[in-house]
Amino acid sequence: MDGIGVNFLSELVGTAMLIILGGGVVAAVSLTKSKGFGAGFLMVTIGWGFAVFAGVTVSYKSGGQLNPAVSLAQAILGNITVGEMLLYWLAQMIGAIIGAVIVWLAYKQHFDEEPDAAAKLGVFSTGPAIRNYGWNLVTEVIGTFVLVFVVIAFTNGKTPAELGAIPVAFLVIAIGVSLGGPTGYAINPARDLGPRIAHAFLPIAGKGTSDWSYAWVPVVGPLVGGALAAGLSYALLPLA
């Protein structure tokens, strides 16, 4: 397999791992019959942080981007081509869908017995605590800007894998506890859109709608935040 093929597979597997563990912790906390039910938002943020650790670790070959906003920033910085960015986006989306399906399989009986459609959707995708698309968008832009800007600062413009998986994991936890309250902090278009697609096609009993009216916010917001972080890094950071 050539380098492009390896990077594609690396991003796919890494993103699937991210969603298996990230979606899994939401399922554990949110689904009524789960032993982790009611553990709270802090447990979710910790789980997502270490989901990022696992995803970045197993996708070191491709740089552990796992996020279209990160890949966009890498393209703006000139570390990857636009063609490579689009290929990474495809891998990340496929990986996210696969990861969401695996979470559903792991919690199949709990989904079957869960009466709350919103709790089921929350395992797959984010949603705002107060629905206001403009302000929800602002929150996602800010959260993703912090993620990408700090990663660029630590790595002098290189990929998250250059920083190391543990610091990225703690950065994601910090963003979650500080900025995650308003929207559930998608900060990653693939993390939200891929599982939302899985929610739409999976035969989940009593699942309700997939809330497509909100779906653009956790896609557009992170892409804008990632682009802003890359652009400002030229002026404000010592890029190698």
Q: Which residues 6+ apart lie within 8 Å of 106 measured at CB?
A: 20, 24, 27
Q: Which residues 6+ apart lie within 8 Å of 34 measured at CB?
A: 27, 28, 107, 110
Answer yes or no: are the C-beta atoms of 89 and 71 closer than 8 Å: yes
pLDDT digits (tens, 9 = 90+) for 176-229: 999 999 999 999 999 999 999 999 999 999 999 999 999 999 999 999 999 999
Whole-number mean pLDDT of the chain?
Answer: 95
Mean pLDDT of 126-140: 98
Mean pLDDT of 80-100: 97
d(CA 182, CA 177): 11
Q: What percent of the chain has pLDDT over 90?
A: 89
Cα distances (Å, whole numbers) of residue 80 to 77, 109, 121, 142, 158 = 8, 43, 34, 24, 10
Q: What is the pTM of this model?
A: 0.95
- 3-236 maps to which CATH number? 1.20.1080.10
Residue with tokens 């089921």: 120
Q: Which pLDDT does position 237 carry in this prediction? A: 85
Q: Which pLDDT does position 177 carry in this prediction? A: 97
Sign of CA dihedral 159, 221, 218, 98: negative
Joined together, the tokens standing for residue 214 give 């909100």
Neighbour count for residue 149 (Cβ, 10 Å): 20
